[in-house]
Amino acid sequence: MTAAAVTLCFLLRTVDGEAQVLLGWKKTGFGTGKVVGIGGHVEAGETTAQAICREVMEESGITVLQGDLIPAGTVDFVFPARPDWDMATMVYLCRTFSGDARESEEIAPHWYPEKRLPEEQMWADAVHWLPAFLAGERADWRIVMNPDNETVASSTRTLRT
Ligand SMILES: Nc1[nH]c(=O)nc2c1ncn2[C@H]1C[C@H](O)[C@@H](COP(=O)(O)OP(=O)(O)OP(=O)(O)O)O1
C-alpha cells in the first residue's frame, strides 16, 4: 500500500526572547486528542507547497506564502499493524507569515516554547524528530510504530548534506 502524501509546517516566532512553535490540539480525525503539527493531506492536483499553505490557513487562519516555506526534510510514519495509516510527510519550517492563530473545526492552535514542548500530549515519536527540525537540522526520518500504533518501534534518520 502506498503511504498517503501529507505535509506539516512548523511556524516559528520569538516573543520576549523566547523561541516558540505553533502546534495544535487535534479536535477531529486522525490523532484526535493529541497535540500535533499543523498540516494534513496533499490533495490531487496540488503541489506540497500549495497544500501546506492551504492547510495552515484552514487549520490556524494564518497566511503563509510559498516563498517563505523553509524545506526541512521528510518523516515517513510507518504503522505495520495498520498499513492504511502509513504517511509520507514533507516538513517545512516558516518564520514569515501573517495573521493571528485562531481555532478551527479541526485544530485548536497554541504557541509553545521550543524548549518546553508538550511531549506527553504529542505522538510518542515527535520527541525524536521535532526538536531536531526545530534546531535547524535537515534530515529524512523513518518512524516505525509498534503494533499498538502508539509507541515507537524504531526511529532512523538520514542527514541531508
Ligand atoms: N506518528 C505520527 N506522529 C506525528 O507527530 N504526526 C503524525 C503521525 N502520523 C501521522 N501524523 C500526522 C501527519 C498528518 O499531518 C496528520 C494526518 O493528517 P490530517 O490531520 O489531515 O488527517 P485527517 O484525517 O484528520 O484530516 P484530512 O486530511 O482533512 O482528512 O497526522
Question: Does the structure show a pLDDT above 80 at 1?
Answer: no
Q: Which fold has domain 4-159?
A: Nucleoside Triphosphate Pyrophosphohydrolase (3.90.79)
ipTM of the complex: 0.92
Q: How far is CA 8 from CA 11, 56, 60, 118, 153, in A?
A: 10, 9, 13, 17, 22
Atom of ligand 1 nearest to the CA of 31: 31
Round to whole Å and give the CA distance between 73 and 94.
Answer: 13
Specify the pTM.
0.97
Residue spans per domain, the chain: 4-159
What is the per-residue DSSP string for 48-107?
HHHHHHHHHHHHH--B--GGG-EEEEEEEEE-TT-GGG-EEEEEEEES--BS-----SSE
pLDDT in tens, 30-82: 999 999 999 999 999 999 999 999 999 999 999 999 999 999 999 999 999 99
Which cell goes with 87?
A: 504517511
Q: Are 158 and 139 in contact (CB under 8 A)?
A: yes
Ligand 1 pocket: which residues have CB below 6 Å? 6, 8, 29-31, 36, 39-41, 77, 87, 89, 123, 125-126, 143
Distance 7 CA to ligand 1 centre (A): 8
pLDDT in tens, 86-132: 999 999 999 999 999 999 999 999 999 999 999 999 999 999 999 99
Distance 17 CA to ligand 1 centre (A): 31
Distance 85 CA to ligand 1 centre (A): 9
Query: Which phi and psi (to 5°) does residue 54 adopt?
Result: -65, -45
Distance 113 CA to ligand 1 centre (A): 22
pLDDT in tens, 126-154: 999 999 999 999 999 999 999 999 999 99
